[in-house]
Chains A and B, each alone.
Chain A
Amino acid sequence: GAVVSQHPSWVICKSGTSVKIECRSLDFQATTMFWYRQFPKQSLMLMATSNEGSKATYEQGVEKDKFLINHASLTLSTLTVTSAHPEDSSFYICSAPGTGRGRDSPLHFGNGTRLTVT
């Protein structure tokens, strides 16, 4: 089945530094990828939609200058948390639609990245 690989699985960084998270579709092409954030004991909240060949679409309240998204190819999307602060500490998960068509296609998720900012 479709596999989405996310790297790193966890990262600890100091305040003010930037962290890049990669999301790859291993055996299929993904023109669209979704980035979610999950705070402890809360559900997933969509941050942005990554579009191959065009700018990402950000959800309301998400700072696009802080969370930089680049969809470099049909199999790779990256999320860079710039000038990270402790409140950015969270679990970040990417996902991509499978090989089905449109809205009836199940989403496949990466294993997530646990970001801790000290």
Chain B
Amino acid sequence: KQEVTQIPAALSVPEGENLVLNCSFTDSAIYNLQWFRQDPGKGLTSLLLIQSSQREQTSGRLNASLDKSSGRSTLYIAASQPGDSATYLCAVPFMGNEKLTFGTGTRLTIIP
């Protein structure tokens, strides 16, 4: 059974700092890994999807890396802004299809 863990569970940093969120998964036989953002009481917004053949993916100030062999992914946020405050979730498909197993999430707070 795939298990996805995110560390830390919560993180507070001053505005402008660069930061890294971590995601680890137990079964390295994944097809891709997806990072999402969830605002309080809201649904999920897809941020980045990394294919299993890729090592990293970039979108604006976000950079996600994937190391399948070690079962790890990181989400790097550059020059953090208060608007980045949200819960960040990583997720991997299981059972070879589009169902996702979600990580436990990291609640990020950017302090103005």
Contact = CB atoms under 8 A, between A and B. Distances in A.
A104 interface: yes
Interface residues of B, number: 25
Interface of A: 4, 6, 32, 34, 42-46, 49, 91, 93, 95, 97, 102-112, 114
Main secondary structure of the interface of B (DSSP, over half): strand
B100 interface: yes
Given A104-B32, A106-B34, A107-B34, A43 B43 contact: no
Contacts of B41: 91, 112, 114
A104 B32 CA distance: 7
Interface of B: 31-32, 34, 36, 41-46, 49, 51, 89, 91, 93, 96-105
A43 B51 contact: no
A49 B99 contact: yes
Nearest to B105: A43
A64 B43 CA distance: 24
> Which of B93, B98, B99: most chain A CB closer than 10 A?
B98
